């Protein structure tokens, strides 16, 4: 019997807290398990377990050996998984968190196409704009927009993103078009409450930054609500390009202060830093990166 197999029997005995439990898990007889533990102790020249008719406890040496053996076996499993993942297809259930509006518009159609190609995969999508804790809440991955906070998560850029200041032609006809950021103080502004700067809008032009405190008739934590309000002529809004690109093309909305930068960032895929990325996460992230690399909403 190899050293790795002896380690497996020993760690299984500890994990199952009995010889009989290990025997059931490994599909062998209890006597076989007992003999392998005895052989292991003889080979090492130490006592790993203290056994009576009723109890079984690890010695100090046994505990130290268990910790090392468990780590080695985990590494061996990870190595085999890493190799097999290179040649396997995604399967099982993938839990992912995506922003509400971007997720419905762009992630959901992409995932649907992906699942047709890989029918063994099931996907559980949570559409939320809050920042979820991937590990504590049991998500395999997330899609997030904007500047990322310092995190232990792995981040892969999926697409660039530009913020655009917009209003409807009807609003401009009634209230006039702002010519400078300062003009916005006199306009009805539609405010996204999840924006970090709140009702302070920031602009950059020629390397100079300006911050303007704005106000208006609507505050919302959902971009679609602000988009509909802007289309209806209720006010001026700052919205991502993936929201407003079609409206700008068909004239439903007009870009205001196009020579000022309202903010640029990116759309990201995030996942926990596992030593070996699972097949399902790797395939989905690669597919989303390929799909969104050219920002198809701008086409």
How much of the chain is in helix, strand and coil states, percent to nearest 5? Answer: 45, 25, 30
Assign 182 a pLDDT band (cuts: 50, 70, 90).
very high
Distance CA 258, CA 205 (A): 10
pLDDT of residue 239: 95
Mean pLDDT for the chain? 89
According to the model, what pLDDT value does residue 153 have?
A: 86
Assess contact for 97 and 130: CB atoms under 8 A: no
Q: What is the pTM of this model?
A: 0.65
Residue 138's pLDDT is what? 87
What whole-number percentage of the chain has pLDDT above 90? Answer: 52
Domain span(s) for CATH 1.10.10.10 in the chain: 3-85
pLDDT of residue 54: 76
> What is the structure's pLDDT at 91?
84
Q: How far is CA 121 from CA 35, 94, 99, 104, 182, in A?
A: 43, 7, 21, 19, 52
Per-residue tokens: 21:
């439990």
pLDDT higher for 56 or 238? 238
CA distance 256 to 190: 14
The average pLDDT across 257-279 equals 86
Residues forming CATH 3.40.190.10 domain(s) in the chain: 92-159+266-298
- Confirm if 107 and 98 have CB atoms less than 8 A apart: yes
CA gap 99, 89 in Å, rounded? 26
* Average of per-residue pLDDT across 15-20: 88
φ, ψ for residue 279 (rounded to 5)?
-60, -45
Distance CA 71, CA 143 (A): 32
Q: Distance (Å, rounded) from C-alpha 216 to C-alpha 92?
A: 47
May I ask the CATH class of domain 161-264?
alpha beta
For 84-96, what is each residue's pLDDT tens digit? 665 577 888 999 9
Instruction: Fold for 92-159+266-298, please state it.
Output: D-Maltodextrin-Binding Protein; domain 2 (3.40.190)
CATH number at 3-85? 1.10.10.10
Please give the pLDDT value at position 1: 46
CA distance 62 to 47: 7
Give the separation between CA 243 and CA 130, rounded to whole angstroms: 18
CB of 15 within 8 A of CB of 33? no
Higher pLDDT, 109 or 77: 109
Residue 275: pLDDT over 60 = no
Instruction: Between 9 and 52, name the one with better pLDDT.
Output: 9
What is the CA angle 46-48-49, rounded to 5?
135
Query: Tens digits of per-residue pLDDT, 26-41?
Result: 888 888 888 888 888 8
pLDDT for res 125: 96
Residue spans in the chain of domains classed CATH 3.40.190.290: 161-264
Helices 30-44 and 19-26: crossing angle, nearest 10°? 110
What is the enclosing helix (H) or strand (E) of 268? strand 264-271
Q: Give the confidence band of 254 by pLDDT, cuts at 50, 70, 90.
A: very high
- The pLDDT score that the predictor gives to residue 169 is 97
Percent of the chain with pLDDT over 70: 96
Whether the pLDDT of residue 4 is over 90: the answer is no
List the single range of 115-124, 140-149, 205-214 with lowest mean pLDDT: 140-149
Report d(CA 293, CA 115) in Å as an integer: 20
Compute φ and ψ for 216, nearest 5 degrees. Answer: 180, -175
């Amino acid at each position: 019997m190899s050293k790795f197999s002896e380690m497996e029997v020993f760690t299984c005995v500890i994990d199952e807290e009995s010889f009989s439990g290990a025997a059931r898990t490994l599909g062998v007889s209890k006597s076989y398990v007992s003999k392998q533990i005895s052989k292991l102790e003889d080979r090492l020249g130490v006592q790993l377990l203290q056994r009576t008719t009723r109890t079984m406890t690890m010695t100090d040496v046994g505990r130290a050996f268990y910790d090392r053996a468990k780590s080695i076996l985990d590494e061996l499993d990870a190595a085999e998984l890493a190799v097999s993942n290179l040649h396997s297809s995604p399967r099982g259930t993938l839990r992912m968190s995506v922003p509400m509006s971007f997720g419905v518009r762009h992630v959901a159609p992409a995932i649907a196409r992906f699942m047709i190609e890989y029918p063994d995969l099931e996907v559980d999508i949570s559409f939320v704009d809050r920042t979820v804790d991937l590990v504590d809440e049991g998500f395999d991955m997330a899609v997030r927009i904007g500047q990322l906070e310092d995190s232990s998560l792995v981040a892969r850029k999926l697409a660039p993103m530009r913020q655009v200041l917009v209003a409807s032609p009807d609003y401009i006809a009634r209230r006039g078009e702002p010519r400078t950021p300062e003009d916005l103080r006199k306009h009805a502004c539609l405010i996204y409450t999840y924006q970090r700067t709140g009702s302070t809008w920031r602009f950059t032009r020629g390397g100079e930054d300006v911050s303007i405190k704005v106000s208006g008739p609507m505050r919302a934590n959902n971009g679609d609500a602000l988009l509909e309000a802007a289309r209806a002529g209720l006010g001026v809004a700052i919205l991502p390009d993936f929201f407003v690109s079609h409206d700008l093309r068909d004239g439903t909305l007009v870009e205001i202060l196009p020579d000022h930068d309202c903010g640029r960032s990116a759309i990201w895929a995030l996942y926990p830093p596992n030593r070996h990325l699972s097949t399902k996460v790797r395939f989905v992230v690669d597919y989303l990166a390929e799909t969104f690399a050219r920002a198809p909403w701008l086409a």
